[in-house]
Structure 1
Amino acid sequence: MSSSQNMSSVLTRQLAQFKEIKVGGKQYLGRLTEGDRKALPLLVQVGKLVDEIYIRQRWSQNERLHQYIAGHRGADDPTTAPLPDKKERLLLGLRLFKGPWGLDEERFIDSILAKDGKTVEIEIKAEPPHNGHFYPDDMTMEEYQAWVATLTGQAKLDAESYYHVVKRDPATKKLYTVPYSVEYQDLLQPAAKLLEEAATLVSDASLRKFLQSRAKAFGSNDYTDSDVDWLRISAESTLEVTVGPYENYTDKLLSLRAAYEFYVHARDFDSSAILEKFSSRLQDIEDQLPIEDQYKAKDLFPPAIVAVNQLYSGGDVAVPMTAAYNLPNDEKPIAVAGSKLVIIKNVQEGKFEQVLRPIAEQVLEQDQLGLVAFESFFNHVLMHEVAHSNGPHFLVHDKKATVRSALEEYHSAMEEAKADIAGLWAIALLLKDGTLDPKPTAASYYATFLASAFRSIRFGITEAHGLGQCIQFEFLMEQGGFEYNATTDKFRVNLDKIEAAVTALTNKIMVLQGDGDKAAVKAFIQKYGKISPHVAKALARLEALGVPVDVYPRYSILEDGTF
């Protein structure tokens, strides 16, 4: 491995941007039965297997790289080229980022050398591949599209499936598909057995049904029925388990192939009861959106809303840590049973205290600093996830074509921006009609959103959430909703203009999505998806002061004798 000081300094700088928080522990397990507790170590083993699957999905050489670092004895080992830093730091970097690229896709390992110190065994490019490991490394979008155009029937469905990889025949050079159940069977089969065993132990019948049907899906490659079972896990279940292929962010080529992830949470019943009231407003919010009726969805299923405290996670869970998720993304189970919003309260609390509050102190005008509140942050994350259900998911001129398929590589950033800004717009609506308590005020939500924008942009604008937030920030600045004070070198919300600016952006993004005009979306992203000099200066100040970008977990469940 190249041992340049540059690679070592990159890793040191990347790791310094994250602060460890303790996640999970006995304080969250009071309502678990003896069977639930016995199931936990089995579920953690599933999470570790899912982690191995995702490492494969991330990059074609990722598994080899992880195995090399894990098996390496350290920088003093004379039989191999020296490592750029201590083994533990490299392993931490790989655990947090799930590959050799950190925030903003900056590489912190450049190559693996053979024992002779000259031959490159694993070459690591400056940027992660857009193909992930869902497609051949050398396959282009043009080749993929030309190939799909030749297919019909089931072959075409498999080529455009969430749950098939595309491979190249070495002899004929032709593309073909392989189902996930075959591609990852060496890991899915033992994971399925563990899920079946855990199912015999958990106390809740609906959770048991999901674990059993998900185990079956690992072999059949048909995830619809088990997704529906996941959506129907009882509100009385003390454990919340999410496991399977869900998010599409790793597939930067098409935003199509699903990556495996795993979570096990303890249900927070008190917070869930408070949050549940929001799900009943989904269609009402849709009906009042600031868009023409042709862009509005009808007969929306209110998402189930669950508040939890995380115990363990694996797979597609690279930092920044997920604070909430709204799943599934597959339209088929959504059509049957809607979606489910999972709010991870203990992670959100860690982010607010360790990251957002210090950011606010550096970027907000002093007179608005007191407006920043955890409840405003918490409720906006909630509304962000609810708002993923709002707006057009199919094109207005072709109700069979999805927004995702039309926008392809631009879909993820636009969808995250939509959920953010539409969620903020919905909060103003719910404050006005009395659904939300008037404290915190609208001003608190806007000021907290402004500070949180810097938190998201710091993830890097090559990442969907960061790019989506950058687009919003620059648009709202242009509309006068946010302002920069050159004298204080800080930002503020213009409370006279912010509501109109948020409404305008909500309309703009949803119309672009519903029209499905990829060229127009590209132009929109190119215009607003750039960090302005004032923002760049503030980001540099945050980095110079050592304000963390995000948090990473230390799992108490592995340390404190929970099992």
Structure 2
Amino acid sequence: MKPITLALSSLALATSLALAGCSEPAPVKKANSDQVTASLVSGAEQRLDIYYPMDLSADLSHLTDRQRHMVELLIEASEIMDDLFWQQAYAGDKDQLLSQLDDSKVKRFTEINYGPWDRLNNDQPFLTGYADKPAGANFYPADMTKAEFEAADFAGKIDLYTLIRRDAAGKLYALPYHEAYRDQLTQAAELLREAAEFAQDPQFKQYLEMRADAFLSNEYQASDFAWMDMTENMVDVVIGPIESYEDQLYGYRAAFESYVLIKDLAWSERLAIYAQHLPELQRNLPVPAAYKAEVPGAGAQLNAYDVVYYAGHSNAGSKTIAINLPNDEQVQLEKGTRRLQLKNAMRAKFDAILVPIAEQLIVPEQRQHITFDAFFANTMFHEVAHGLGIKNLVNASGTVREALKEHASALEEGKADILGLYMVTQLLEAGVITEGALEDYYTTFLAGIFRSVRFGASSAHGKANMIRFNYFEQAGAFSRNADGLYSVNMDAMRSAMNSLSEKILTLQGDGDYAGVGELFDTMGNVGPQLQADLDRLAAAAIPVDITFNQGNHVLGLN
């Protein structure tokens, strides 16, 4: 495969998303007036440049003409997912909102955030006229209380693929996605079926056809199974309602998103050896046997990809650089999961963000241990760790996700981070991982906490990193010198890694909602010292995340 072309631009992006307005919107809650103004809140102008703009491109010359046209069609279907996510994230009229914004940087910042709330600043409004973002986004009626929802009894109440709305009498009911978004999902299904006609891999063809059917039936599990059966396809797409992070009220509703992907064969071959060690890693988790009794399917795959398009939830705020799917617990237990490493986007974050952070916050003598191999492995095994541990409660019926409600996603991210480092430790010492020394992975992991904690408390990843930073600090896993520079204490970090792994896995297996809430309350906040250090990163103009100029025109497909 030829080298990737990944152009990093210093110019703000001007390309706007081709999105439509919201159907059946709930009222947007205003702060003080009925008329939304287009001005920035005080201080918000300092946030407009926190995203590093880059052209998202890759070498497609090895693809056939049929495959290249298939990529075009998949990107068109992904644009529909982007539109649907706008409707889920923002209850107002998107076009009306954007039309009021004359400043191109303000408009672009609004597009990146899919609304007037700053996703990497705890969802605080950056435009005047808006109150705080509803925890339930536009999945629930704006005036619905938790008490009302929990007292109600109706079909589809906790279904991932429904909206909650009120009937003519004001009672709550569930509206399936395939009814709420019928026209757009029909169009997306047609595009997937057309793309299937150009698929050279029969399993990928079948997946596209089954995913198209799922858009119109609201039944996604069968297509998840089909996605797990694919092994040889060069082009891939992750598309549909998938993650539930946007629902911060309960974590019950899945948001629309998409990734269009091109497999990197050389890097995928490097990763294949790790998959055979996953059952042993599950057995060796530092937790009592009951909390690791589930055995994920042995068909788990580790592969590297170049991502050529992000849409919807995956494109909102901080950008995903690795994927572990599907989320369906039954599919995970029977088939395992697929772990997809998005190498080109990962490299961009490493170069533009992680290395500059290390130069500001890590002691000089340990900066040599900040390596891309370590960053790649830590990120990859974070995704591997999502498939390990426990999915169903140990001493009760039901799933961990249902029991922990709105806390489930953030705790799951915390589990994945800490167990990922545990796995790296085990595999490196067993000689399975041969690149670098353990100090590379631990030091890069510490620098990675500073990167992710900047995502803010509204992000599941940000919350997870705050907890880990505070836990590690109390355990002496790192030190901070008089110059404000951090260094890893290897033995103490290993001990903290093991104890935090056990704590999180136990909370999950017990479904301890109150215990998780206490953990977030006591350790899920940024203290004054850490905030001062994060302010140093902002003063040094180090971006918080990346944003994309992307699409068929960037890839040279139109």
Question: Is 1:110 matched up with 2:128?
Answer: yes
Q: For the residues of structure 1 that align with 2:38 and 2:245, how far apart are their CA atoms?
A: 31
1:68 to 78, 93, 96: 96
Q: For the residues of structure 2 that align with 1:331 and 1:298, how far apart are their CA atoms?
A: 11
Q: For the residues of structure 2 that align with 1:228 and 1:493, how far apart are their CA atoms?
A: 42
Partner of 1:79: none
Which secondary structure does the structure 1 equivalent of 2:174 belong to? strand
Per-residue CA deviations over 1:357-413 (Å, capped at 9, x if unaligned) read: 000111111111111001000001000000011112111101x31111111111111
| Conserved 8 A contact 1:241-1:262 | yes
Partner of 2:382: 384
Per-residue CA deviations over 1:281-328 (Å, capped at 9, x if unaligned) read: 222111111100011133322422221001112111212111011111
Partner of 1:242: 238
Partner of 2:498: 503
Normalising by structure 2, report the TM-score.
Answer: 0.90
User: Once superposed, what is the RMSD of the aligned Cα atoms?
Assistant: 1.6
The one-letter code of the counterpart of 2:76 is: Q
Q: For the residues of structure 1 that align with 2:549 and 2:499, how far apart are their CA atoms?
A: 41
| Conserved 8 A contact 1:263-1:312 | yes
Partner of 1:333: 331
CA shift for structure 1 position 3: 5.2
Partner of 1:95: 111
Partner of 2:227: 230
- Structure 2 vs 1, CA of residues 231 and 476 (structure 1 numbering), >3 Å: closer, same or farther? same
| Conserved 8 A contact 2:386-2:415 | yes
CA shift for structure 1 position 229: 1.1
Correspondence list, 1:19-98, <5 A = 19-25=52-58, 27=59, 29-61=60-92, 64=93, 66-70=94-98, 72=99, 83=101, 85-86=102-103, 88-98=104-114
Q: For the residues of structure 2 that align with 1:220 and 1:44, how far apart are their CA atoms?
A: 22
Q: In percent, how many aligned pairs have the same letter?
A: 35
Question: Is 1:305 matched up with 2:302?
Answer: yes
Question: Is 1:517 matched up with 2:515?
Answer: no
The one-letter code of the counterpart of 2:181 is: Y
Q: For the residues of structure 2 that align with 1:179 and 1:557, how far apart are their CA atoms?
A: 31
CA shift for structure 1 position 539: 0.2
| Conserved 8 A contact 2:318-2:546 | yes
Partner of 1:366: 364
Q: For the residues of structure 2 that align with 1:512 and 1:364, how far apart are their CA atoms?
A: 32
Which secondary structure does the structure 2 equivalent of 1:139 belong to? coil
Q: For the residues of structure 1 that align with 2:72 and 2:107, how far apart are their CA atoms?
A: 23
| Conserved 8 A contact 2:113-2:317 | yes
Correspondence list, 1:95-494, <5 A = 95-102=111-118, 103-104=120-121, 105-111=123-129, 124-125=130-131, 127-148=132-153, 151=154, 155=155, 158-169=156-167, 171-234=168-231, 236-302=232-298, 303-317=300-314, 318-398=316-396, 400-437=397-434, 439-485=435-481, 487-494=482-489
Q: For the residues of structure 1 that align with 2:61 and 2:233, how far apart are their CA atoms?
A: 13
Partner of 2:15: none
Which secondary structure does the structure 1 equivalent of 2:78 belong to? helix
Which secondary structure does the structure 2 equivalent of 1:159 belong to? coil
| Conserved 8 A contact 2:39-2:128 | no
| Conserved 8 A contact 2:90-2:114 | no
The one-letter code of the counterpart of 2:318 is: P
Normalising by structure 1, report the TM-score.
Answer: 0.89
CA shift for structure 1 position 536: 1.0
| Conserved 8 A contact 1:69-1:91 | no
Q: For the residues of structure 1 that align with 2:556 and 2:61, how far apart are their CA atoms?
A: 14
Q: For the residues of structure 1 that align with 2:443 and 2:451, how far apart are their CA atoms?
A: 13
CA shift for structure 1 position 136: 1.1
CA shift for structure 1 position 468: 0.2
CA shift for structure 1 position 30: 2.8
Partner of 2:32: none
Partner of 1:14: 47
CA shift for structure 1 position 4: 7.5
| Conserved 8 A contact 2:40-2:127 | no
| Conserved 8 A contact 1:59-1:132 | yes
The one-letter code of the counterpart of 2:240 is: G
The one-letter code of the counterpart of 2:456 is: G
Unpaired segments ≥5 residues, structure 2: 1-34
Q: For the residues of structure 2 that align with 1:410 and 1:283, how far apart are their CA atoms?
A: 27
Per-residue CA deviations over 1:26-67 (Å, capped at 9, x if unaligned) read: x2x133111111122221111111111100111322xx0x21
CA shift for structure 1 position 560: 5.0
The count of aligned residue pairs is 520
Q: For the residues of structure 2 that align with 1:404 and 1:244, how far apart are their CA atoms?
A: 20
Question: Is 1:537 matched up with 2:532?
Answer: yes
The one-letter code of the counterpart of 2:135 is: H
Q: For the residues of structure 1 that align with 2:464 and 2:377, how far apart are their CA atoms?
A: 19
